[in-house]
Chains A and B, each alone.
Chain A
Amino acid sequence: MDIGGTFTDVVRYDERTGRVVASKAPTTPGNLADGVFSALGRVVDDPSEISFFVHGTTQGLNALLERKGARVLLVTGEGARDVYRIARGNRDRMFDLRYRKPEPLVPRSAVTEVAGRLDWRGEELVPLDEDAVRAAARRARGEGFDAVAVCLLFSYVNPAHEIRAGEILAEELGEDTLVVLSHEVAREWREYERTSSAVLEAYTGPVVRRYLAGIEERFAERGLTVPVHVMQSSGGLVNASYAMRRPLQTLLSGPVGGTMGGVAAARLLGRPNAICVDMGGTSFDVSLVVDGRPDISAEARVEGFPVLMPIVNLHTIGAGGGSIAYAEAGALRVGPESAGAVPGPACYGRGGVRPTVTDANVVLGRVDPSWFAGGLMSLDVQAAHTAVADLARELRLETLQIAEGICSVANAKMAQAIRTLTVEHGVEPREFALVAFGGAGAMHAVFIARELGISEVVVPRFPGAFSAWGMLEADVRRDLSHPYFRSGGELDGADMASRLKDLQDQALEELAGQGVADSRMRIEHAVDMRYEGQDYTLTVPLRDAAEPGTPGFPERIAARYADAHTKRYGHATPEAPVEFVALRSTGFGVFPRTAATHAAQPDEGTRTVREVIFDGEAHPTPVLRRGALEGELTGPAIVVEETATTVIPPGCVASVDGNGFLIIKVGGVK
């Protein structure tokens, strides 16, 4: 289940029949659980029959966006109280004399210092002032803070001071006040980023905890016997009791579902690489699946605040069906301004007069006005024509020319957004399949693919509910890391192997705590490396935990690092010494997969033919219901379903595979 801004989408998989069903209910902002249960009621009669339930929650993110999170007291070391407020002092807009940093979630007056200091090796320079910690606890209680975040310098090397501070705070405050220790949130260096992560967890945690406790209680009342699972920002699942302890990991759980759907689609299609594009009314989100894995960053920014946690790398630009086209100095521009839902595109008939991408599609005949949003909404075709024609006059072009031009510019921009991610990764888009979903994704996917030289477009079933389906296909995942600073020359392979073994044991234990059976556990190991003098690292995979102890490892790992560097950045410096920075172990709990079946239902709907414009020419184009597809379909064709429309231009051939994916072989690649 995926809780979006407007709708809560739900996908049900029936283990007995192999059937997949999707539905939705309006999202209920006041109490999200109401929307969850009304969506659930549309696909499941008896919750006690549910053998697995997963959902993405936006509760924490909403609290952040609306600035309705907890009141947090921040405890720092002496001399470091303003690290959070200084926020590393950087700007992200260059031509702005009036730059302001994001408003801190903790005011300066709610930051309190305690003495205690470690050096860079984690050795104690000044003992922790336990009385000062107790005073902070009394202040938290006295002034009614909901949560306390603690971030002390070098706790990622040696967490002893933070652990002791946590014990004292728990003694004084009991269970009611959430206490967040920075090294538990992110065992990584850089005090501002770690403080920000801890503060975000403290700020959103109480809200997420209340929400999850409420959901679990209501499920229990209805007879659900299995744990509620939650999607994490990393694309992995955890159960709700773990998410209540580490709520930060759920912060961006919604949009990640689409990427995990892309991972599952890539697996089912037998392709290692996929580009996932989610196009809706106002935004276009891109993410990558490389070698069958989601592209994950170790760090992200949310509302301007850094968070150190594994997070699926999503690149978003302001491009969607609602993007407005306009003239400027004789030039045609499209977006990023959007008509939004109100007034919306001109064709919505809600008073919008400026042409949008959706209006252009209507003018070109690519939208079936009688079956928009599954027939729930009728379109004002004339209004779309008028809006586009006005712009055409301004730019001295024909209406159809400008309509196609609006789409071409939007497609070029979306293709460039994809390029931004692929360049960053040093990968070639033409080696990828394009998986398109969201309300408008499938309408533009083939055109975007042509821009990038991509030869295959995949439109999954229920494109509007693809994120929810992706969650159903995800694994339980726990990411563990341990700082391990060593120069290449002083590597002790046996020592590294034994540290990895410890991490592995810890990962196995955590998976067991998530209810994962032994036979379903899988652990991957990797080491973060860099050239001496660099700051950024590359995560280099290891064969297993024991590999560092085997003969020839130093040369092997240096060569593997050089390969990874060349692959990612296009060059390497083989003669330069390397160093190790951190060890990583990731535990996966693999769930049984849905084996969806697809059977055509030829009687579904009628086939009509309409005129659609492609490359300036009108083509008689069949319009079909998706459920009725059988065999190969040669473009031009329009395929409609409840939540999406797929445009198949001339020169392309579409077919439905055994999993129900609509596969389009793209011709006319540029």
Chain B
Amino acid sequence: MIDPVTTEIIRCALLQAAEDMNTTLIRSSYTPVIYEAKDCAVALLDRDHNVLGQSSGLPIFLGNLEVCTRETERLHGRQVWREGDVWVLNDSYIGGTHLNDVTVYGPIFVGGELAGFAASRAHWLDMGSKDPGGSMDSTSIFQEGLRLGPVRIYEGGEPRADLHEVIARNVRFPHATLGDMRAQVACVTTGRRRLAEIVSRWGLDTVTAARDEIFAQTEQLERAAIAAVPDGVYRAGGFLDNDGIDLATPLPVNVTVTVAGESVTVDLTDCADQATGPVNCGAAQAVAAVRVAYKLLVSGEVPLNGGSFRPLSVATRPGSMLAAEAPAACQYYYSHLGLVIDLVVRALAPALPGKVAAASYGDSLIVQMSGVDPRTGKLYVSQEATVGGWGAWDGGDGETCLINSVNGSLRDMPIEVLETLFPVRVTRYEIRPGTGGAGRWRGGNGVVREYEFSGDTSLSLWFERSVTPAWGLAGGGAGAPPRVTLNPGRPGEREMLKVNALAVRKGDVLRCESGGGGGYGPAELRDGAALAHDLAEGMVTPPGRAQAGPAGSPVPSVK
């Protein structure tokens, strides 16, 4: 029996070890998508692939790095692990995400004995897909770039030059890509050093006893939190606009949450089959999305470890877009994951009124530009997510112009940085008033971001949630859907939400408008002073003008 003091010191040390890995990765990464957008995650695992400590830049990478070490061992046996080896994997059907998310991991040996694993996942700028940076219209994984199974990039501490060469020849930005890979290796090295220090100091038996105790403590806290949620079967449903190929067909996603005593089951089997377009993900990622919703609602404060998700089970259907199989395209693996998270929140709204919020604008709303910069003659890719309105809750208005939940702590691209790096100008960056859903508590507003191209550009767009815009709760109104207009008020004006590699000319203008968040409670109960303040601040459109909103857009069905 281990004493609570030692357990607590080891627990803190493991959490810190994961933080140190994360710091190493973020500080040494090459591209902004990692150090700025934090499109990455790290985990320290025990030798049975349980999470000892995790630090996640992106919430949707929550607790699924271990699938990589687990799968490697399943394929090759436990004897495959050798000291000083580092592995790499980006297979969508194992890791669950798109090929850009590459997991780098390695075993940790202490005194010749396998003690655990260190793993890091990060988004690589380009994997050699048919269009730079990734395609909006891929229909097969083979169009999406280099796919690496579990393979060693370091052997016995030495880099495998041949495999580095393979990667360098298959991606568009080899310096940046290999720079990021080295950062991930440095992160794994930090994890190795930290776990070795902990095991050397306390001994593997003590650390293992502490681990069991820590997992048991966490499980106990999780079960107590779930017990506080009223038992019941909770359902919600919504639609993804389309798969990016067949723009006319919305794709349904329905969730059923069953709370029984100290356990929760989330059923995701009732959703569209895996799609032709790139809106598919591996089952591991669907599980991670449910875990995010669970943390948002149930036990956000409890640090994550191998005991965290024992009371939670998730059902997926192989061959569906939430558990896709080869060769489904997976580039936009996250739009329906954001929807899953929002739907779990909506389903549980009657049970957890003190925790939920109305829906947010709900998608990353990607603007991707690429081409040859006329100023330098070099190829460039710019990829931005667009901020929008978040949902209101009982007691507060939703925030205005905030990044999508799936994007973690991503910041928008400063105009000065964007214009310096790429041949484009931002002519407006403004709040889009009146787009938050009405209510006693108002939804947050979306944004208007307007670009003028300074050279011929290949434009790709991924704007979602027009079929199921941000819904209100408790009688609150829905937020406005997104809208994108090419050359507004000019000849050739054109509206669109998704497009791949559209050729636009120098001088063309693109106006991107993001959606607002849902409102909470009936609008008649809105406080007069709050309304007056909103008018003075220009956050709502003056009375007499209709509140912008989706007339006739289908409200998600609650089954």
Which residues of A approach B to under 8 Å, CB–CB? 79-83, 85-92, 94-101, 107-109, 119-120, 153-154, 156, 189-193, 327-334, 395, 397, 401-402, 404-405, 408-409, 412-413, 416, 419-420, 423-424, 426, 485, 531-536, 568-571, 573, 575-577, 670
Contact = CB atoms under 8 A, between A and B. Distances in A.
A143 B552 CA distance: 44
B401 A85 contact: yes
Given A154-B416, A569-B27, A91 B409 contact: yes
B114 interface: no
A95 B300 contact: yes
A120 B420 contact: yes
Contact of B431 (A90, A108, A332, A395): A108
Contacts of A395: 4
Interface stretch (B29-37, B250-258, B313-321, B323-331): B29-37
Contacts of A333: 8
Interface string B403-433: 1010011111011110110000111111100
Contacts of B538: 108-109
B59 A95 contact: yes
A79 B428 contact: yes
A88 B411 contact: yes
A90 B403 contact: yes
Contacts of A423: 20, 23-24, 190
B201 interface: yes
A284 to B, nearest CB: 14
B390 A485 contact: no
Contacts of B539: 108
B4 A533 contact: no
29 contacts: A79-B430, A79-B450, A81-B430, A82-B401, A86-B412, A86-B429, A88-B414, A89-B412, A91-B402, A95-B59, A95-B300, A97-B405, A98-B396, A101-B402, A108-B539, A153-B416, A189-B420, A331-B213, A401-B3, A405-B8, A416-B19, A423-B23, A485-B420, A536-B35, A569-B24, A569-B183, A570-B186, A571-B185, A573-B179
Contacts of B59: 94-95
Contacts of B185: 571
A192 B413 CA distance: 10
Contacts of A332: 4-5, 7-8
B173 interface: yes
A107 B537 contact: yes
A403 to B, nearest CB: 10
B8 A331 contact: yes
Contacts of B400: 85-86
Contacts of B295: 95
A419 B179 contact: no
Q: Interface of chain B, helix or strand or loop or mixed?
A: helix
Given A99-B390, A189-B420, A109 B175 contact: no
Interface residues of B, number: 86
Interface stretch (B10-18, B104-112, B262-270, B499-507): B10-18
Contacts of B370: none
Contacts of A94: 56, 59, 408-409
B206 to A, nearest CB: 14
B189 interface: yes
Contacts of B420: 120, 189, 485
A97 B345 contact: yes
A75 to B, nearest CB: 16
B4 A569 contact: no
Contact of B402 (A89, A416, A568, A570): A89
Contacts of B11: 331
B414 A190 contact: yes
B5 A405 contact: yes
Given A89-B403, A193-B414, 19 more contacts: A82-B430, A85-B431, A97-B296, A97-B345, A97-B356, A119-B419, A120-B419, A153-B415, A330-B4, A397-B3, A405-B4, A408-B5, A408-B9, A534-B31, A535-B32, A536-B35, A569-B24, A569-B28, A573-B30
Contacts of B67: none
Contacts of B20: 419-420, 423
B247 interface: no
Given A153-B416, A424-B23, A569 B186 contact: yes
Most buried by A among B416, B419, B537: B416
A333 B403 CA distance: 34
Interface string B364-393: 000000000000000000000001001101
Most chain B CB inside 10 Å of its own CB: which residue of A402, A404, A405, A570: A570
Most chain B Cβ neighbours within 10 Å, of A86, A119, A405: A86
A100 B95 CA distance: 32
B272 interface: no
B363 to A, nearest CB: 14
Nearest to A192: B414
Contacts of B173: 533
B244 to A, nearest CB: 24
A189 B431 contact: no
Contacts of A397: 3-5
B428 A535 contact: no
Contacts of B312: none
B241 interface: no
A381 B76 CA distance: 62
| Smallest CB-CB A-B distances: 4 pairs | A405-B5, A569-B28, A89-B387, A95-B300
Contact of A88 (B12, B412, B431): B412
Contact of B409 (A92, A107, A420, A573): A92
A412 B429 contact: no
A97 B405 CA distance: 9
B355 interface: yes
A138 to B, nearest CB: 20
Given A328-B221, A331-B11, A576-B179, A89 B415 contact: no
B520 to A, nearest CB: 11
A535 B417 contact: yes
A329 B217 contact: yes
A571 B24 CA distance: 11
Contact of B27 (A109, A154, A193, A568): A568
B176 interface: yes
Contacts of B9: 408-409, 412
B357 A97 contact: yes
B447 interface: yes
Contacts of A91: 402-403, 408-409
A217 to B, nearest CB: 40
Interface string B524-559: 000000000000111100000000000000000000
A3 B420 CA distance: 43
A662 to B, nearest CB: 27
Contacts of A331: 4, 7-8, 11, 213-214, 217
A99 B537 contact: no
B182 interface: yes
A3 B20 CA distance: 34
Given A92-B409, A331-B7, A424-B23, A99 B189 contact: no
